A = this chain, B = another copy of it.
């Protein structure tokens, strides 16, 4: 374990190592997780860098980042094979040499013995460390982590090297890195995220106006993803925590004043989790009847632990036959001279039939043309009807979604959840028109 360091960790970089990342064979999720941990501690992230398994690239990335930061956390390159170069790279960058650590060798042998296995001779390279550095114990795999520091021109940069697999990396961060970090004393980072639906990003920005000026403290920014626009509020400065908190609070209140009718949640809330929360609070249940989304809405609702308390289930009425036989859509509605499977009438019949047959408090149905085929001039690809059936009646709306099959399906679920949220929250109908206009 590294001893207490005298320096403060103000500016950090995350370095990810591996051909599988730069070749596009794997998505890097470690950088996101590590950033969250550091930001929560008040440490700024200046960069994520990802490099291939190449010693020169590795050393020069370490040196470059060390000149800009006082903390580097790297992941990957600690395995036993020839393309695992983190040990050598950190030795070179910290002007040190590698030594064999006999304690580490014992730990590696013990790890294998405990599993009834014998370590391969190549595993012994994992007991090497820079002579002035130290090893970080790995309780979830064979590769120990490393701690070392690089002397940059005017300052010192601490480097923690963690293994690539998240299930080894995360516990090692918690056990060996987090306690060794020295977040800037007096420096406070406070963040808040509010999520909205039913308004486009540019319209929301227009409403927020000068609140989004880049010189403001706290900073307010927006990001859009799949029909949800999130407002990010971020305070970074030297004020006491309480004052930072009050400033973020004030900005959040201002966002609510300017656009609160579109805000459905904050932080880790999703539309699905908020809908489930409202259902639980009011002791209600939900059923789904899905055509073009084929189960996606049910999947999103049941992805949330504990959803069985209010999700009864539903139907995937993909064929017209299933719509008729399973939720009682009248056959004439789907017939050639009827309104057709993608229509106000069928969406409504699906939701009402589903609510009746499941006994749920509310039922939501989705029927549409997800494409790429099946569009007509009257019902082009992206035409989606969504209906919500509840104790006092039903509400059925037409949406025109842009994008490919996957986007149309995913935005249909967002729109369906938005309708359920607005109903459960007692929001006005005018907002639904906004959803309709803006979800696409």
Give the B-binding residues of A (Cβ under 8 A). Answer: 16, 18-29, 31-39, 45-53, 57, 61, 79-83, 115-117, 119-123, 140, 142, 165, 167, 171, 191, 193, 200-203, 205-206, 212-214, 219, 221-225, 230, 232, 234, 288, 290-299, 301-303, 305-308, 311-319, 321-322, 325-326, 357-359, 371-373, 400, 402-407, 409, 437, 440
* Known interface pairs A22-B47, A51-B47, A206-B122; A201-B27 also in contact (CB < 8 Å): no
Once the chains bind, are B45 and A22 in contact (CB under 8 Å)?
yes
Contacts of A121 in B (CB 8 A): 206
* Known interface pairs A32-B27, A316-B314; A205-B80 also in contact (CB < 8 Å): yes
* Known interface pairs A49-B49, A404-B167; A308-B302 also in contact (CB < 8 Å): no
How many identical chains are in the complex?
2
Contacts of A437 in B (CB 8 A): 115-117
Once the chains bind, are B53 and A50 in contact (CB under 8 Å)?
no
Tell me whether chain A's interface is mostly helix, strand or loop, or mixed: mixed
* Known interface pairs A81-B212, A213-B82, A313-B322; A25-B223 also in contact (CB < 8 Å): yes
Instruction: Across the A-B interface, give the 3 residue pairs with the lowest CB-CB distance, nearest first.
Output: A294-B302, A295-B295, A295-B298
Q: Which of B50, B57, B319, B358 contacts A312 (CB 8 A)?
A: B319
A399 to chain B, nearest CB (A): 11
* Known interface pairs A293-B299, A312-B318; A57-B46 also in contact (CB < 8 Å): yes
User: What CA separation (Å) do A417 and B302 show in the bound complex?
Assistant: 20
Once the chains bind, are B313 and A316 in contact (CB under 8 Å)?
yes
Once the chains bind, are B302 and A299 in contact (CB under 8 Å)?
no
* Known interface pairs A202-B120, A314-B295; A83-B24 also in contact (CB < 8 Å): no
Contacts of A193 in B (CB 8 A): 25
Once the chains bind, are B167 and A357 in contact (CB under 8 Å)?
no
- Smallest Cβ-Cβ distance to A53: which chain B residue: B221
A210 to chain B, nearest CB (A): 10
Once the chains bind, are B202 and A119 in contact (CB under 8 Å)?
yes
Once the chains bind, are B315 and A315 in contact (CB under 8 Å)?
yes
From A29, A294, A404, name the one whose CB has the most chain B CB atoms within 10 angstroms: A294
- Smallest Cβ-Cβ distance to A60: which chain B residue: B68
A224 to chain B, nearest CB (A): 7
* Known interface pairs A298-B295, A437-B115; A33-B25 also in contact (CB < 8 Å): no
Contacts of A372 in B (CB 8 A): 305
Q: Which of B26, B202, B313, B402 contacts A223 (CB 8 A)?
A: B26
Contacts of A297 in B (CB 8 A): 295
A6 to chain B, nearest CB (A): 26
Q: A46-B57, A82-B214 are in contact. List 5 more A-B contacts (CB 8 A).
A: A24-B38, A28-B48, A288-B295, A294-B299, A314-B315
Once the chains bind, are B45 and A31 in contact (CB under 8 Å)?
no
* Known interface pairs A83-B214, A212-B82, A318-B313; A223-B295 also in contact (CB < 8 Å): no
User: What CA separation (Å) do A51 and B14 show in the bound complex?
Assistant: 11
- Smallest Cβ-Cβ distance to A302: which chain B residue: B294
Once the chains bind, are A23 and B191 in contact (CB under 8 Å)?
yes
